[in-house]
Amino acid sequence: MTKIDLSVSPDETSSPDEKTPALVSLDEVAGTLAHLPGPDEAAQQAARARDALLTKPPGALGRLEALAEWLAAWQGRHPPRLDRPRVAVFAGNHGVARRGVSAWPASVTAEMVKNFVAGGAAVNAICGALDAELRVYELSLETPTADFTEAPAMTDEECARAIAYGMMAVEPGIDVIAIGEMGIANTTAAAAIALALHGGRAEDWTGPGAGATRAVLDAKIETVRRGAALHGGQPPLEVLRRLGGYETAAMFGALVAARIGRVPVMLDGYGAAAAAAVLHALDPTGLDHCQAGHLSAEPAHKRLLALWGKTPLLNLGMRLGEASGAALALALLKAAARCHSEMATFGDAGVSGPDAPLSG
């Protein structure tokens, strides 16, 4: 686990990659976003060419074929590999939790972080099953963000520091990163961000989260409505600063660093989608290096994915968070990469292809 104190600026010398600098203001963040790289077209074409030679009918592996091509394009190499997948869970606490927006007390965030460290959570089990590296980033849990119904959730400096720490989670050598979060009231922040960015009604974007009762859901909807009314109409980075959590900002930073460093991303549920929504609002192509790992049972998650034209890889009714759905979807990426790399071609196997001359 990495414990992060957001009152201390990241040490520039501690950044694992010179492309992920220690940022101290949102203006610097905006500058980083000016030139996001696109896919590696040569690697993408090489994957497409090899797929046409594999011992199967064209399209027979469905989305696995597209995933292999996507991996090659965003890893910038062919064949794609998944030797070192990382699962990153960012944990933060929210000032609006005191408004009764969750069925769980805010203390659960820190308690669950301890559970991650002890190896007792679902994401631990999933990562163990898939041989994925789990990293947990605890972001100033003892100091929640401000109540966004009264003031911006974060100062400019706090938000920029959280983004910078999130960027540092994308280290050289990892093949893909699955991004998720832990934090009581995180779906309240996600709903407020979605409402501020896309409009509509608070009810459209607010769901039960971790099992809210009717009374809790009503309080949550009112909190989302008040927050968006106070901070709506702002540019996307300001929406993130004013309504997001430390973990939301860190996930946003990880998304940006992954794009710069050519690391494909697997997104988890609604909390991760809120961070992704900010990047999409800044650049409609900004999520091209991302896949939606699963469809959360949180209703508004489906609405966000539809806005981006992204079809989730899994739909298992999960609503746990903690990157569990994204981690589970890594199994599909592993299968896609191995099928692409290890299947024989028609020529290698001595199998007649679809264009072979008819006998007799």
Q: Which residues are catalytic?
A: 322
Closest CA to 184 of 94, 118, 121, 265: 94
Q: Which residue has the tokens 């163990």?
A: 128
Hey, which residues does 139 pair with through a beta bridge? 4
Rounded Cα distance, 8 and 158, in Å? 9
Helix or strand (DSSP H, E) at 346: helix 346-349
Burial label for 31, CB within 10 Å (0-12, 13-18, 19+), is: exposed
CB 166 within 8 A of CB 251: yes
DSSP string for 222-282: HHHHHHHHHHTT--HHHHHHHH--HHHHHHHHHHHHHHHTT--EEE-SHHHHHHHHHHHHH
Residue 173's CB is within 10 A of a number of other CB atoms, namely 10
Tokens of 281: 């609002």
Q: Are 81 and 75 in contact (CB under 8 A)?
A: yes
